[in-house]
A = this chain, B = another copy of it.
């Protein structure tokens, strides 16, 4: 079976094919503009885009969405994280959390949809805290304020490899189990 993964990130394709290598499944990258709906909830966003792509392509489709969930901000920015990078910026989040609970997590939701069906979702989470100040280094704005659990450094203070070691592939492993069960039926 061929599954179309709607993503521009080639690393995600490699990862999926590596995890699914024992299945009769091939993940192929597809470039398709899908509408991303307004919501803080990555599951809602990725399911909508996934279903849209599945109806357009008439094939099994995989679509992911990721976001940052800050507990003291009631889940903000969630799936809207990318709109805050050039607006609120890293220092804005530091300011908003002054004197508040700094716990948060990155979430990645992987949605899978087959023709005529409703999408299903699998979730990976990387827990952490927002730092007290912006810590320069490599990476994006969020990397300068996100400290993963069991470390004291922000992602910006690590090498790319160190940062990658915090990536949680639970969503992909759960999708693997789901597809394996389908094959065996």
B36 pairs with A37, CB closer than 8 A: yes
A95 to B84, CA, bound (A): 15
Question: Inside 8 A of A35's CB, which chain B residues have their CB?
Answer: 35, 37, 48
Q: Which chain A residues numbered 32 to 47 have a C-beta less than 8 Å away from chain B?
A: 35-38, 40, 45
Contact residues on A (Cβ < 8 Å of other chain), bracket:
20 to 34
Judged by a CB distance under 8 angstroms, whether A86 is at the interface is yes
Cβ-defined partner of A76 (8 Å) among B36, B37, B87, B95: B87
Interface of A is mostly: loop
Counting chain B CB atoms within 10 Å of each CB, the highest count among A40, A45, A75, A76 belongs to: A76
A48 to B87, CA, bound (A): 23
A74 pairs with B96, CB closer than 8 A: no
CB distance from A67 to the nearest CB of B (A): 11
Cβ-defined partner of A36 (8 Å) among B38, B40, B79, B98: B38
Question: Inside 8 A of A36's CB, which chain B residues have their CB?
Answer: 37-38
Q: Mark A65-79, 1 if CB is under 8 A from B, else 0.
A: 000000001111101
Question: Inside 8 A of A77's CB, which chain B residues have their CB?
Answer: 87
Judged by a CB distance under 8 angstroms, whether A2 is at the interface is no
Q: In chain B, what residue has the closest Cβ to A86?
A: B74
